[in-house]
Amino acid sequence: EADIYQTPRYLVIGTGKKITLECSQTMGHDKMYWYQQDPGMELHLIHYSYGVNSTEKGDLSSESTVSRIRTEHFPLTLESARPSHTSQYLCASDGGGYNEQFFGPGTRLTVL
């Protein structure tokens, strides 16, 4: 079982602020993912990484950016938050050969 952490759990900010959502995992997994999910709705992949210095955009276009400087850390940054960015952001990791993704608890972002 993967241990994957996200901070903060809840964030309320004003329009135009720069924010970074943190995601860390302790299992040494190579693959990490960011999903965006509105409450009770489907998951949309916005970024993924298959290892250090490797990042790709997902299916859903997002104004966020990510970095992968260390295996265990995969932060997501919004340079200028807008109300349309209000959502839940879920981080996941996968280290095995069976594509089992393990999710963090999520960050609930509200942009006023």
Partner 1 sequence: GQQLNQSPQSMFIQEGEDVSMNCTSSSIFNTWLWYKQDPGEGPVLLIALYKAGELTSNGRLTAQFGITRKDSFLNISASIPSDVGIYFCAGQPFPYSGAGSYQLTFGKGTKLSVIP
**Site for partner 1 (CB under 8 A): which residue of 93, 104, 109, 111?**
104
Residues 67-96 that bind partner 1 (CB under 8 A): 88, 90-92, 94
| 102 near partner 1, rule: CB under 8 A | yes
Answer whether 34's CB lies under 8 Å from 48's CB.
yes
Name every residue whose Cβ is closer than 8 Å to that of residue 64 and which is 6 or more positions away in sequence: 34, 46, 47, 76, 77, 78, 85
Stretch that binds partner 1, among 13-21, 52-60, 63-71, 77-85 (CB under 8 A): 52-60
Residue 59 as a binder of partner 1 (CB under 8 A): the answer is yes
Report the C-alpha gap between 28 and 25 in whole angstroms. Answer: 7
Which region among 13-21, 53-61, 65-73, 76-84 touches partner 1 (by CB under 8 A)?
A: 53-61
105 binds partner 1 (CB under 8 A): yes
